[in-house]
Amino acid sequence: MTERRDGRADRDGHGDRDGGRVLHELVEAHGETFAEEAGITLKDTPQPLYRLLVLAVLLSARIRGSVGVAAARELAEAGLRDPRRMADADWQERVDALGRGGYRRYDERTATQLGEGAELVLDRWGGDLRRMHQEADGDVSALRDLLQEVPGLGPAGADIFLREVQDVWPEPAPYLDAKALSGAERLGLPKDPGRLVDLAGDTPPAHLAAALVRAALDKKIADSVASG
């Protein structure tokens, strides 16, 4: 427990000034979103939103994040950047692209899920996830449920999508799920999303979430920032 400058003890381990420093250093070093790492320039347009959906499916499996990101890049390099091309691709073409990204343990099942998911996006939302967004009508819980209709995308995958999309679709923001908040806990920061956003200043919430998730996944990241 530390004493805040105003004299009140902060039960989360950091005063506001120190907590702000920790978050600033974390975001500065590790605030790249997973979409950015996968080469996705996220905008409210069909192709980048679909590529984010694919990335969320890939990251849902019990694999290293770097492997999911590499697989997403390989699918994009193979031209599978939109649901029509994904649906029209041969199953083996999807398997091969996943394999080139090192995504071998789940490649066959995931190749099937990506094909089925692409068909769903085409049939249900005309290939445009903005229509899913409109269907949810600002209800984040409804949006989370709609995302989980996509094959291979469970609660964890829906959280990944919502963490990343919140700079483009503002309704979920600040979307700091259990994984992000576990990163905050590891850093001795408050687990209240509103307080974290206040401490982070003008940091976009998707970058804040990505940085906290990286701290949750890698103790070395948390230790390096906390000791700084």
pLDDT-based confidence at residue 228 (cuts at 50, 70, 90): low
pLDDT-based confidence at residue 225 (cuts at 50, 70, 90): confident
Structure tokens of 151? Answer: 């094959």
Percent of the chain with pLDDT over 70: 92
pTM for the complete prediction? 0.91
DSSP three-state, residue 48: helix
pLDDT digits (tens, 9 = 90+) for 149-206: 999 999 999 999 999 999 999 999 999 999 999 999 999 999 999 999 999 999 999 9
Decide if pLDDT at 69 tops 60.
yes
Give the per-residue pLDDT at 2. Answer: 38
Percent of the chain with pLDDT over 90: 86
Decide if pLDDT at 11 tops 50.
no
Structure tokens of 14? Answer: 């950091």
CA distance 141 to 174: 14
pLDDT-based confidence at residue 140 (cuts at 50, 70, 90): very high
CB atoms within 10 A of CB 192: 14
| pLDDT average, residue stretch 51-66 | 95
| pLDDT average, residue stretch 53-63 | 95
Tell me which amino acid residue 41 is: T
Alpha helices in 78-177 (DSSP H): 83-88, 91-100, 107-125, 129-136, 140-147, 155-165
Helix/strand/coil percent split, the chain, to 5: 65, 0, 35
DSSP three-state, residue 10: strand
Give the per-residue pLDDT at 8. Answer: 38
Q: At what angle do helices 155-165 and 140-147 cross, to 10 degrees?
A: 120
In 3D, which of 67, 45, 59, 64 has the Cα closest to residue 177?
59
| DSSP per-residue codes, 85-103 | HHHHS-HHHHHHHHHHTT-
Structure tokens of 198? Answer: 């206040």
